[in-house]
Structures are given as structure tokens and as C-alpha cells.
Amino acid sequence: MSENILVVEDEPTLLETLTYNLTRQNYQVHTATDGVTAVEMARELHPDLIVLDLMLPKLDGFEVCRMLRQEMITPILILTARDDEIDRVIGLELGADDYMSKPFSMREFLARVKAQLRRVRLIREERESEDILPRENIKFGNLTLDLARREVLLDDRPLSLKPKEYDLLLFLARHRGHVLTRELILERVWGWDFSGGSRTVDVHVRWLREKIELDPAQPVRIVTVRGAGYRFEG
């Protein structure tokens, strides 16, 4: 099974070189030459990795990165042409997973691609078997779950969460987009298989919302699904 890579680059020669070399490594390569197309393709293809140039027509790489970061955890390898761009990449905490400044060697580029894809595989495996010790971070916009440290950051500031609040958030985050019943949450987070204690879930959800929602009364991250349970939106 070959991995899908979306390469976003508006310089034809570089795009061709990158595509040629990635294809030779048996990756499936998709290309975009402007920011708007890049966002559309990323949403449609859900690639395993996005290689993203910063200076792009229509929508620049900064904006593309910011938008995609809200929606997916696909690693983003940024290509920069100037040192002041690197400063912005770091300074803005774009959520890019790695960056390289031009010009770079193809060997180095392929090594970075390989490293990011290995990371993706690990995350995927870890999701499939939750027993494996997690090492990587999960990001949803300004919310970061640091799995190795069991820490949650909001706008890069660590939140003070009780252990069960953390466990609950992690469980919700790992099943983002799915409706989870209180019973299932109880069973998986607390290890109880009875429904009598489902208020415990509600209380912890309320506490979490107070910490991670902009407006806890109008939650957008942990949504209540009437008559069913909760759904984590990201």
C-alpha cells in the first residue's frame, strides 16, 4: 500500500523534481500549484502527508496551513524560500510538523518525508490498538494533547486537568466525529459497564468544557447529541 502525498508548489521545475523523486520512492503523488486548490485537494484526498510551499498564488501557505490544521492532523512539511519565512513559521506556531528551507538536497527531503510518514503510521497503529504507549501530539486548532506528557495545552498554555478529565478528552478526541453514548464513555474511560453512573460523564464533560471551550454554555468542541451522548468536534 503506497502512501498519498499532496505536493503544493508553484515553481514548475521544483514541483516536477519533487514529483519525480517521490514517485520513484513509490509514493502516490498529487500536485497543486495554488493555495485554494491545495485546500480543496487536501479535503478530498485526505493525503498521508502534505508538502507545502509558503509563497503561493491565491492563498499563501501560511493560510493553507492554518486552515488545514483546524480540520486534519495530516503532517505538513513546509518549504520556505527565505529566512524571514522560517521566523514566521516558528513564531506563528502554525502547527507545521517540519520545515525545510530552499534550496535543500533531495536526499534530505526524502528522509524528512519518510520520517513524517513513519509518524503517521505510528499514530494510526496506536489508534487501532490503544494499548500501545502514545508518543505523539494530537492537535485541534489551538488545543493540543501532548500524549507523552499527558498534558493538554490551550494556546500553548498547559491546562490543569484532573486525570479522568484528561482520559475523557483523549477518548473523545480519538473518536472525533463519532457520537459516543454515556455508557460507552463510562465503560471505556472509567471501566464501568453499568449505566447508573452516567452523570459522572456529564459532570466531567462540564468541567472539560469550562477549560477548553471559548464559551462553555455554547460548546463547539464537545457537543451534546440529544438523546444519544456526546460528540467531539475538534
* Distance in angstroms (rounded) separating the CA atoms of residues 212 and 152: 9
Cell of 60: 499563501
Most distant pair of Cα atoms in the chain: their distance: 64
Q: Would you say 66 and 74 are in contact if contact means Cβ atoms under 8 Å apart? A: no
Question: By CB under 5 A, how many residues form the interface with Ca ion?
Answer: 3
| CB of 114 vs Ca ion, minimal distance in Å | 24
Segment contacting Ca ion by CB under 5 A, of 13-21, 49-57, 148-156, 188-196: 49-57
Q: Is 85 in the site for Ca ion (CB under 5 A)?
A: no
* Distance in angstroms (rounded) separating the CA atoms of residues 158 and 86: 25
Contacts for 114 with CB less than 8 Å, ≥ 6 apart: none
Residues of span 52-81 touching Ca ion by CB under 5 A: 53, 55
Which residues of 60-141 form beta strands (DSSP E)?
76-80, 98-101, 137-140
Residues of span 87-146 touching Ca ion by CB under 5 A: none
- Please identify, using beta-carbon distances, which residue of 10 and 63 lies nearer to Ca ion: 10
Segment contacting Ca ion by CB under 5 A, of 46-54, 69-77, 130-138, 194-202: 46-54
| CB of 14 vs Ca ion, minimal distance in Å | 8
* Distance in angstroms (rounded) separating the CA atoms of residues 222 and 210: 11
Q: Is 10 in the site for Ca ion (CB under 5 A)?
A: yes
Segment contacting Ca ion by CB under 5 A, of 5-13, 25-33, 163-171, 212-220: 5-13
Q: Is 165 in the site for Ca ion (CB under 5 A)?
A: no
